[in-house]
Every structure is written in structure tokens, then in C-alpha cells.
Amino acid sequence: MAQGILKDTMANAMLVKDLAEVAKDTALLHGVQIRVHESPNSSEVVTYAPITLFPSPVPKSAFYQALAVQVHYNTLVDKISQDADFLQKALASTITVDNFTARLFKIHQQVLEEGKAQSIVLGLNRSDYMLDQKNEGCPTLKQIEINTFAASFAGLTSHTPHVHRLLLFLIKSNHHPDILVHGVGYGPVFSGHSERFTEDLSFCCRAIVMFLVEENQINIFDQRCIENELWKRNISTKRKRFRDVSKTGSLDPDRKLFVDGQEVAVVYFRNGYMPQNYQSEQDWQARLLMERSLAVKCPDIGTHLAGTKKVQQVLSQPGVLEKFFPEQPQVVEQIRSTFAGLYTLDMGPEGDKTIEMALRTPGLFVLKPQREGGGNNLYGAELQQVLQEVKGSEERMAYILMDKIHPTPVQNILLKRDAPLKISTCLCELGVFGTYVRKGREMVLNKCAGHLLRTKSSEHADGGVAAGVAVLDNPLLL
């Protein structure tokens, strides 16, 4: 019923135009905003974040499957981050050819050699999925990746339902209030559960939560949502950059971290997941300083490495999940059922077989480097070209190969700044946020913290919201 109403509405050009204006105004009113840099010499402009005009249909069973498995993914990521031997073996081939991953791994080794100063771990991650319609029957939930570092849009997605609820009301859609579910995100996790570990950090009056951010931040309002939750509870925050830490950062004899003379209780990394984030050797030294400190890191270096593509591929091998969940076959099955096919490109017969398979049918696969931030994956002719170039060298070990997911297309209208209003054939990607806090060996918090739906035109093979390709959406559960 709801789908039919939305389809009829999209066919009415005048109504679409009016609704689009309401959607933009409502988005700005509720803080669904991004910062736009017009040009290097112009002033900053705030505009509505890109969003769909209507919520997109998502099967209810797959949606709740993704929510249910998230606590197990939280546990898995945390266990991997603590297993130095596993990380060493999993990343051994990658760090020989990928300098960025090698630098991160070197910091991990340095921290372990010195001894971790902080036993508290704060995890905020997001597991991303698409619904694979490759086989006949019901679409199956397949994981694209898990983001353990700077998993974004938890703030904005908690506000987007306001937009779609109003639009559905205006077109008199008889949707049930619970069908359009809230994308809560993990904004309150710092504050709502901070009392579980703040005493150990002398948090209450002196220390701050430090957001490590980029030089030029477009997605600032997403971060402000989290900051607001902290401010409501009288928890101080500061936004700093690598250069700030490099210039004024220091450790006292107890390894407490100070930046600009102020003690830092928690370092929340929103920057540092791409090679270009490190502009100098001083930036790398600043990262090491923070990792060595008593401050809680979100994520710490082990958790950062746990989110690499190579670790994702190794986890798909027989017997690996069982290592982390002994005598828990149901948990293993829940996680494994979300895996797409993942294949090694290491040197040797297995990697050679992967190369041959991909070159024979490149349209069935995605070639993934060890990079985050969107726009890095290779498809089709590009995949074929790169594999031809690296197939005989160790350079191929910088990548993994994954089955290409074939989601069911949906129709929607994508609202982007200065873009024409038109009906597009779209593909949806569901993200599920997870939060956890571990103190020593005790997991004191482990929960699914909401979801994010992003939608892009089917003409784009790769790219997220920050890359200017996808837009924010909400699931209309069917």
C-alpha cells in the first residue's frame, strides 16, 4: 500500500517539487545539515544533508537480522583487537606491500612492547550490508564491510525520520507509525554510560573528550550531535587536529595525555583512517603519542586494525570464527550467514586461483584495497586492468577480492544541493551501529545502537555520502 502511494506521488511533478521544498526546510530545521566549502577562497555555507524524498522499502526480516547480529560483531571486533597473534598472522602479507597498514601495525607493536596504559576500550562501529538478490527467492543479507574507525552519520540519521514522517503525513500515506523506524545512532554512548569508567580517568572536572578531526570538516553537524549529548551532561569536549596534538600534546609520568595543557580522558578519532590524513611524520608521531597514553581511544589501534579488509577476508576462512566463539555454533552461524564470498590474493596457488577466477568473470567481483572512506573499490574493466598489472607480483597482496552483491533496485528521488528533481533507479545500503565498553576483561556494555540507510543511484558503483554519491534515507519496513 505504502509503495503504491509513493509511486503515484513521484509521478506528480508539481507535488514532488512542493514536497522537496518541505523536505529541505524540515531537514534544516531538525539539524540534518552539512557544511559546504564553495571554493578555497569563499566563506563556508551550511545546507541540508543529501536525503531521499521518500523512505525506501526494506524487508523487515533482513532488517531485524542485521540488528540481532550486531552484538556478536561487537564481540568479534573486540576479541580480534586483543589477539596480537591473530592480527600478526592475518596482516603479515598485507604489511609487506601496503605502507599505510604497515605504519599502523608498527604503532600497534610499539604499544604492546611498552605495555598498554589503559585497560578500558570504547568501541563505536558500523556494519554495512546490502540485500543480495543474486539467487531466486528472498534477498539475503550480505555484509560489505565493518567500520571500526570514525563510523559516521549516527548523529544525522537520528534526525532524518522527522523529514520522512512529515512527508508521509502530507501525502496521507496510511503507514503504521512503527514501519518507519528511528535511526538512533550511538550519540549517547559517551555520556549515558560514561559513569562506568570516568572515575578511573579523573574525568569529572578536569579531563575532556577530544574529537580528533580533519583540517576542513564538511560533516561537522554529525559530530555536533554527539557533542551535544556530552554537553547536556556537563562533559567538556574539544575539537583538535593532528597538528594541535603534535605541537602541544604531552604525557605526564603516569602517561596521562595533555593537549593545550588540558587532560584528555577520551580520544574520539574522526580523522586518521586514510593515508592522506597523515601529512607529515609529526602526524604519525602524534598518533603514537595518543595510542601510548592513558586516555581511552575510540578506537584504539588494535580495533582500527581489526576493521581492515584483510582481516575481513581471513575471518571468512573455515574454522576462524570458531576460534573466537568456541562452543557457540549458533553465533558462528549468525555471523557467517552474512558473509559474501571473500578470497585471498596472497602469493601461492590459492591466490593464483583467485586471480584466474576474477579475470575470467570480472563482473562478478569487487577488488578492495585496504582503504576506507568510499570510492576506493574497483569493478569490471578497472578490476581486470589492475589484476593484470599485479598478478605476478606481491603488489596483489594489498587487495582482497569479494563477490559482487546484487541488490534489488528501488525507485526514489535523491535530494542533493543544486541537483535536478528526477526519479532515479537506486540501490540501498543498510548500516547497523554497535557500541561496547570493555574494562579489563569485563564487557560492561554491548549493544546494537541503531541503524543508517544510505541510497545511491544505480549508475554509481561505489561511494558514500561524504564522497557526494549516496544520500541519507530511512527504511520503510515491509
Residue 66 included in any domain: yes
Assign 310 to helix, strand or coil. Answer: helix
What are 217's three cell numbers? 570538516
pLDDT along the chain (478 residues), means of 10: 70 89 93 76 80 94 97 98 98 98 98 96 96 82 96 90 91 66 57 45 67 90 89 90 98 97 96 96 98 97 98 98 97 98 97 97 96 87 96 97 95 92 95 95 93 92 75 93
Is 439 annotated in the active site? no
Bin 352: left if φ > 0, else alpha if -120 < ψ < 50, else beta: alpha
- Cell triple for 41: 577562497
pLDDT of amino acid 186: 53
Q: Which residues contact 313 (CB under 8 A, 6 or more apart)?
A: 342, 343, 344, 400, 402
- Among all chains, which residue has been given the C-alpha cell 565493518? 146
Residue tagged active-site, from 309, 310, 396, 438: 309
Taking only Cα atoms into account, the Rg of the chain, rounded to an integer number of angstroms, comes to 22
Name the phi and psi angles at 455, rounded to 5: -135, 140
Q: Which parts are annotated binding residues for substrate?
A: 126, 223, 454
Is 247 tagged catalytic?
no
Instruction: Tell me the angle at which helices 99-114 and 281-292 cross, rounded to the nearest 10 degrees.
Output: 40
Q: Is residue 383 part of a domain?
A: no
Q: Would you say residue 326 lies in a domain?
A: yes
The yes-or-no answer on residue 368 being catalytic is: yes
pLDDT of residue 138: 83
| Per-residue pLDDT, 252 | 97
* Residue 163 forms part of a structural domain: yes
Total residue count of the chain as it appears in this document: 478
238 belongs to a structural domain: yes
Please state whether beta strands 56-58 and 475-477 pair in parallel, antiparallel, or not at all (unpaired): parallel
The question of whether 125 is a catalytic residue gets the answer no
Domain count, the chain: 1
Q: Which three cell numbers stand for residue 167?
A: 512527508
Rounded Cα distance, 100 and 237, in Å? 29
The sign of the torsion formed by the CA atoms of 331, 337, 342, 346 equals: positive
Closest CA relative to residue 221, chosen from 34, 1, 12: 34
386 in a domain, yes or no? no
Of these residues, 127, 147, 158, 194, which one is catalytic? 147
- Known binding positions: 126, 145, 147, 223, 309, 368-377, 379, 402-405, 429, 454, 456, 462
Among residues 225, 178, 141, which one has the least CA distance to residue 432? 141
Let me know: does 92 contact 393? Beta carbons within 8 Å: no
Q: How confident is the model at residue 40, as a pLDDT?
A: 57
Asked if residue 380 is part of any domain, the answer here is no
Best CA proximity match to 109, nearest among 260, 266, 288: 288
One-letter amino acid of 100: F
What pLDDT is attached to residue 174? 64
Q: What single-letter amino acid sits at 363?
A: G
Q: Let me know if 454 is a catalytic residue.
A: yes
For residue 175, what are the domain limits?
Answer: 1-340+405-477
Cβ neighbours of residue 64 closer than 8 Å, sequence gap 6 or more:
none
Q: What is the pTM of this model?
A: 0.93
Query: Does residue 165 have an active-site annotation?
Result: no
Residue 369: inside a domain, yes or no? no
Asked about 199 being catalytic, the answer comes back as no
Phi, psi of 89 (to 5 degrees): -70, -40
| Catalytic residue status for 372 | yes
